[in-house]
């Protein structure tokens, strides 16, 4: 396994190193980089010396996702991971897929099954970053590396591929301040993500770093398992307490929550839906942005993230060093494991003005999919044809 250090006394929260190590070395200069990194005291360089016995292209990759409410996972993430693994292994590499449908115990059993099936590596998007640690340990004990996908997980994780999640929150928070202006009179409701997801804490921290002292946070809720039905109930409580017309904006941590919030506000009869943020560039969110119901979402290139995870997984199983192949330019600490090699992809704020340059350009959606009859005039208004 790589030179990560795993402690049994979890620290309080996930930390990224103060100085994120940026390894710009490539495979061609690996030896030189090894000397330079070693000379600067970096001991956790690549793991090629300790890699499990290398394999060829005939590999099996376990892929586990946390829920079926979030559209991105089965619409984009898993298909792109599967496709990239086939490309990287001359169509010999295969995947085993499982979705935990919001249940942490189910996900642990799914990991146990992958271990029993002797997969070569696991790509894991955890329902609950803490509850999954024992199953990650079992995989590690069986010599099966685990790559944390999108959400960092606890236990002996070998790699991490995600986005700069604190920046995601900053982008969301900054969008609201730019739209509302800097005034404490502005009352914001926060509908955060799931407490079991470490990303949710990072999104919230990032958003608050932009919102703090610039607006008034009237109410703040977490959304268990990112379930839009939970967000609906929470938002109904807020409307009953504050009155729909006393809400100047809603920070919604992702598009599933945003959709629930906007439905509640429209049912309550607001004259105009106040600015509502989101994340994931769900198709219905892009359409709401065109119609003016949703203010923005955060576009995260799922194909880029999926490719990075597939490349890291194949390299690891084949005994190559993910650091020196520039597949892990950063490193990050979890509450239980330090120096996890990481690859973070930058996010982009998506508004009605850059739909063409983001989800259309990246072939996430076609204009035809977005500009249905219901949204044709909204598309024409921004020249989306």
The nearer residue to ligand GAL, 226 or 365, going by C-beta atoms, is 226
The Cα angle at residue 364 between residues 86 and 22, in degrees rounded to 5: 70
Rounded CA gap, 5 and 313, in Å? 20
DSSP state, 276?
B
Contacts with ligand GAL in 270-329 (CB under 6 A)? 279-280
Q: How many residues does the chain have?
A: 385
CB of 151: closest distance to ligand GAL in angstroms? Answer: 5
Task: Indicate whether 199 belongs to the interface with ligand GAL (CB under 6 A).
Answer: yes
Alpha carbon of residue 119 to chain centroid: 24
Burial class (CB in 10 A: 0-12, 13-18, 19+), 49: exposed
The nearer residue to ligand GAL, 46 or 259, going by C-beta atoms, is 259
CB of 193: closest distance to ligand GAL in angstroms? Answer: 6
Q: Measured on CA atoms in the order 14, 17, 20, 25, is the torsion positive or negative?
A: negative
The nearer residue to ligand GAL, 150 or 210, going by C-beta atoms, is 150
Mask for 121-160, x = binds ligand GAL (CB under 6 A): -----------------------------xx---------
Task: Indicate whether 197 belongs to the interface with ligand GAL (CB under 6 A).
Answer: yes
The nearer residue to ligand GAL, 163 or 295, going by C-beta atoms, is 163
123-136 residues labelled b (16+ CB within 10 A) or e (exposed): bbbbbbbbbbbebb
The nearer residue to ligand GAL, 199 or 331, going by C-beta atoms, is 199
CB of 72: closest distance to ligand GAL in angstroms? Answer: 6
Number of chain residues interacting with ligand GAL (CB under 6 A): 11
Contacts with ligand GAL in 213-252 (CB under 6 A)? 226
Neighbour count for residue 311 (Cβ, 10 Å): 22
Q: How far is CA 312 from CA 44, 147, 177, 192, in A?
A: 17, 8, 37, 30
The nearer residue to ligand GAL, 193 or 335, going by C-beta atoms, is 193
Task: Indicate whether 107 belongs to the interface with ligand GAL (CB under 6 A).
Answer: no
DSSP state, 51?
P
Secondary structure class of 68 (helix, strand, coil): coil
Q: Given the rule CB under 6 A, which of 191-199, 227-235, 316-324, 355-363 is the region that contacts ligand GAL?
A: 191-199
CB of 128: closest distance to ligand GAL in angstroms? Answer: 12
The nearer residue to ligand GAL, 199 or 318, going by C-beta atoms, is 199
Half-sphere exposure of 333 (CA within 13 A, CB side): 17
Half-sphere exposure of 144 (CA within 13 A, CB side): 26
Q: Given the rule CB under 6 A, which of 192-200, 341-349, 356-364, 368-376 is the region that contacts ligand GAL?
A: 192-200
Mask for 55-74, x = binds ligand GAL (CB under 6 A): ------------x--x----
Alpha carbon of residue 108 to chain centroid: 20
Residues engaged in binding ligand GAL (CB under 6 A): 67, 70, 150-151, 193, 197, 199, 226, 254, 279-280
């Amino acid at each position: 396994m790589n030179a990560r250090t795993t402690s049994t006394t979890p620290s309080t929260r996930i930390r990224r190193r103060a100085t994120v190590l940026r390894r710009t070395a490539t495979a061609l200069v690996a030896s030189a980089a090894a000397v330079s990194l070693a000379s600067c005291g970096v001991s956790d360089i690549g793991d090629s010396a300790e890699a499990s016995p290398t394999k060829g292209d005939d590999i099996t990759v376990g892929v586990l996702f946390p829920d079926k409410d979030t559209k991105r996972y089965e619409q984009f993430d898993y298909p792109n991971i599967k496709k990239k693994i086939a490309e990287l292994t001359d169509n010999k590499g295969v995947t085993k897929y499982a979705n935990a449908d919001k249940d942490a115990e189910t996900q642990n059993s799914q990991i146990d099954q992958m271990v029993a099936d002797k997969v070569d590596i696991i790509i894991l998007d955890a329902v609950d970053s803490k509850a999954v640690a024992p199953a990650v340990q079992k995989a590690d004990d069986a010599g099966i590396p685990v790559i944390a996908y999108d959400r960092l997980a606890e236990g002996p994780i070998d790699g991490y591929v995600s986005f700069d999640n604190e920046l995601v929150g900053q982008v969301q928070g900054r969008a609201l301040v730019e739209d509302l202006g800097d005034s404490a009179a502005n009352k914001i409701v926060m509908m955060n993500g799931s407490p079991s997801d470490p990303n949710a804490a990072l999104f919230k921290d990032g958003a608050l770093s932009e919102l703090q002292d610039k607006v008034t946070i009237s109410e703040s809720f977490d959304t268990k398992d990112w379930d839009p039905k939970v967000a609906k109930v929470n938002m109904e409580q807020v409307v009953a307490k504050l009155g729909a017309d006393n809400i100047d904006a809603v920070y919604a941590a992702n598009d599933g929550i945003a959709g629930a919030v906007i439905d509640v506000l429209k049912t309550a009869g607001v004259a105009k839906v106040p600015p509502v943020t989101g994340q994931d560039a769900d198709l219905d969110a892009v359409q709401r942005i065109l119609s003016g119901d949703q203010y923005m979402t955060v576009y995260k290139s799922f194909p880029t993230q999926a490719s990075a995870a597939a490349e890291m997984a194949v390299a690891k199983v084949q005994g190559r060093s993910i650091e020196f192949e520039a597949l892990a330019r950063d490193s990050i600490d979890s509450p239980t494991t330090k120096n996890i090699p990481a690859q973070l992809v930058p996010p982009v704020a998506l508004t009605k003005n850059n739909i063409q340059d983001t989800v259309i350009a990246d072939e996430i959606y076609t204009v035809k999919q977005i500009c249905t009859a219901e949204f044709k005039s909204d598309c024409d208004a921004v020249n989306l044809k």
